[in-house]
Amino acid sequence: MENPKKTVAKGKTSLNCGGKLLDLSKPLVMGIINVTPDSFYDGGKTNALKDVLIQAEKMLQDGAAILDIGGQTSKPGAEIVTPQIEKTRVLPTIEAILKRFPETILSIDTFHSSVAKESILAGANIINDISAGEMDERMIPLAAELKVPYFIMHKKGLSKTMQDNPEYSNVVEEVFNYLLNKVEECKSHGITDLVIDPGFGFGKTIEHNFTLLKRLDLFNLMGLPILVGLSRKSMIYNSLGSSAKEALNGTTALNMIALNNGAKILRVHDVKEAMECINLFNHYRNA
C-alpha cells in the first residue's frame, strides 16, 4: 500500500449525536466506564451507581467528550454474557449519568442489537460495536434505523480465543480491507456517521499491534475518524515487563504516536493524561 499522506481526502470532522454535534476537527477523548466485575484493568471498580457517578464526574471534569459504557468484558479469554445481564448493568448506568449530567454524550459498548437499542432509547447517543455487526446481524440495520453514529472495530475471532496464535499474511492490509468492506456495508444501509477502529489487542500479537500503529496513517484514506484504544493494554505492559496498573506512561507514549498518525478519538481509562497528550500534540501540530 502506498503512503497516503499526499492523497488522503478531507475527512469527516463532526458527528451528529442525537442533535448534539461532536466536533472532530481536533482530537477528542472517550472515557471508559466498565460496569463489569472482570474487566482487565478496572473490573469491579464501578459496580455501584455511586462509584459510576464519581468516575463519570471526574472524567467529564478532566475533559472527556464521550463516556463509553460497557457491560460486556471483551478481554482475551472472556466469556460472553447474555443481553439480559448486559442490560441490567448498562441501562441503570446510562439513566443515572444522564440524570446527573444531562448534556453528556454517551456511547454504548456492545455487540448485541437489543442492548444497543434499549441503551439508545434510554439516552445514549452512539453505538460502539467491537464486532462491526459480525456478532449480531441486526446491529447495522439498527444503527441505520436509529440514525446514530456507529463505531466499527476489527477483531479476529471471539474474545475467548482471539489471542490463541493469531496469524495474518499482512496485518495492515487485512485490517484495512476488512474495515473498508464494513464501511461500504454500513453506507449501503444509509449510515453516514461512522468511526473506524483497527482493534488493538483484538486477535493480534504485539508485533501486529505495533505494525498497525506504525501504519495507522494509511487508514486516513477512508476519510473517516479513527478511534484508537491502546489504554493500558498488554501490548504495552508485556513489552515493558510490567502490568496494566503500571502502563499509564506507556499508554501516553503510544497515544502521542497514534495522534501523529491520524487518530481522532483516544479511548482511555485515564482522561486527564490523555487530554494533556492531546494538548501537547495540538501545540506541536500548530508550531
- Alpha carbons 273 and 30: distance in angstroms, whole number: 12
Give the three-class secondary structure for 69: strand
CATH of domain 25-286: 3.20.20.20
Q: Please state the domain extents for the chain.
A: 25-286
* Known catalytic residue at 26: no
* pLDDT (tens digit per residue) in 163-217: 667 889 999 999 999 999 999 999 999 999 999 999 999 999 999 999 999 999 9
Residue 23's SS3 state is strand
Share of residues in the chain with pLDDT > 90 (%): 83
Say whether pLDDT at 60 is over 80.
Answer: yes
Rounded to 10 degrees, what is the CA torsion of 237, 240, 246, 251?
Answer: -70
Catalytic entry in 87, 182, 233, 264:
233
Q: Across residues 140-154, what is the average pLDDT?
A: 98
Q: Which of 160, 267, 272, 285 is catalytic?
A: 267
**Is 267 considered catalytic here?**
yes
What pLDDT sits at residue 5?
42
What nine digits make up the cell of 226? 479513527
Given this model, what pLDDT does residue 3 score?
47
Q: With residue 48 as reference, give the H or E element that holds it.
A: none
